[in-house]
Amino acid sequence: MYLPVKVPLQEIRDPFLEEKSLHVFVKREDLIHEKISGNKWRKLVYNLQYAKAQQFSTLVTFGGAFSNHIAATAAAGKEFGFKTIGVIRGEEYLPLNSTLHYASACGMEFRYVNRSAYREKSSREFQEKYLSDIQDYYLIPEGGTNELAVQGCEEILADMELDFDVVCCACGTGGTISGLINSLKPHQKVIGFPALKGAGFLAEEIDKYVRNSQWSLNLDYHFGGYAKVNENLIDFVNRFKVKHKIPLDPIYTGKMMFGLWDLIEKDYFRRGSTIIVVHTGGLQGIVGMNERLKNKGLQIL
């Protein structure tokens, strides 16, 4: 399964960056596929290949009702001929929100579990209780992170001809940053921007997968927690799109880019540095976020 497109590298031109003597390029992984976008494609590709080779007919995975990973797995199942079942955290959503509506249109079947049961989803008891009636399924963890996912993310920078100093990426479960870390040359490093509050567990998770220590996490730009946003962030995302023609999602890439711009402003980077920003996608979530923002009078353009 090859990439459907060659992923463009887009330079950001801005007097602000010139003044700081920095070169910033965005790896537009969001353009890989409308719904299997960005890192979710990378994380799924070797898992799908494995599941096909082992002749599994069904993919089972987990996520919240707005999850990019749920949308991506549903789309991938349709495209590559798997039945898909999504275990969704929380009560049944009716009418379906845009993410679940899309996943359902791709053929995904849902099983809703309450939040306390959901927390135990990796246990054998959970699987016996909720999944035992499903024939020969291949289980993809929440967020899609496993060894094969990390292997896929090691290819994000594989076609990079440009020499660079720093890579920035948004983090959830840490699979994407782990792949990036493993693909670095000795003089390069990665900065991860967790979208979750209290992401202390994340470093430990990343350590399970990586083969060097050329990375750090910046915990300052979660905006109050996962899926939490404020007017400042929405305003930044909107202005960024108008100015640079790059849409950002408010949950992951918007927070990362906000953080990066703030660090640049504070002269965090050595003059002359070249920075690669991985656009991990996630744009499918904007419609759902806008539904939630309506009552605050905010909107993502």
47 binds ligand PLP (CB under 6 A): no
Contact region for ligand PLP (CB under 6 A) — 52-60, 82-90, 98-106, 280-288?
280-288
Minimal distance, residue 64 CB to ligand PLP, in Å: 11
Nearer to ligand PLP by Cβ, of 171 and 184: the residue is 171
Sequence-ordered alpha helix ranges (H) in the chain: 15-19, 39-53, 68-80, 98-105, 115-119, 124-131, 147-153, 175-182, 200-207, 231-244, 253-265, 286-293
Please state, in angstroms and rounded to a whole number, the distance separating the CA atoms of residues 257 and 275: 12
Please state, in angstroms and rounded to a whole number, the distance separating the CA atoms of residues 18 and 278: 20
Among 47, 58, 61, 68, contact with ligand PLP (rule: CB under 6 A) = 68
Subset of 22-41 contacting ligand PLP (CB under 6 A): 38-40
DSSP calls for 170-219:
EESSSHHHHHHHHT--TT-EEEEEESSSSTHHHHHHHHTT-S---EEE--
Nearer to ligand PLP by Cβ, of 60 and 177: the residue is 177
Minimal distance, residue 194 CB to ligand PLP, in Å: 8
Residue keyed to tokens 């504070």: 266
247 binds ligand PLP (CB under 6 A): no
Nearer to ligand PLP by Cβ, of 68 and 99: the residue is 68
Minimal distance, residue 140 CB to ligand PLP, in Å: 12
Query: Roughly how many angstroms between the first and final C-alpha of the chain, as a whole number?
Result: 33
252 binds ligand PLP (CB under 6 A): yes
Nearer to ligand PLP by Cβ, of 9 and 134: the residue is 9
Among 12, 32, 170, 237, contact with ligand PLP (rule: CB under 6 A) = 170
Minimal distance, residue 15 CB to ligand PLP, in Å: 28
Among 174, 247, 259, 288, contact with ligand PLP (rule: CB under 6 A) = 174
Mapped onto helix, strand or coil, the DSSP state of residue 108 is coil
172 binds ligand PLP (CB under 6 A): yes
99 binds ligand PLP (CB under 6 A): no
Distances from the Cα of 257 to the Cαs of 45, 150, 252, in angstroms?
Answer: 26, 23, 9
- Contact status, residue 190 vs residue 164, Cβ threshold 8 Å: no
Closest CA relative to residue 62, chosen from 113, 125, 96, 98: 113
Applying CB under 6 A, the residues found at the interface with ligand PLP are 38-40, 68-69, 143, 145, 170-177, 249, 252-253, 280-282
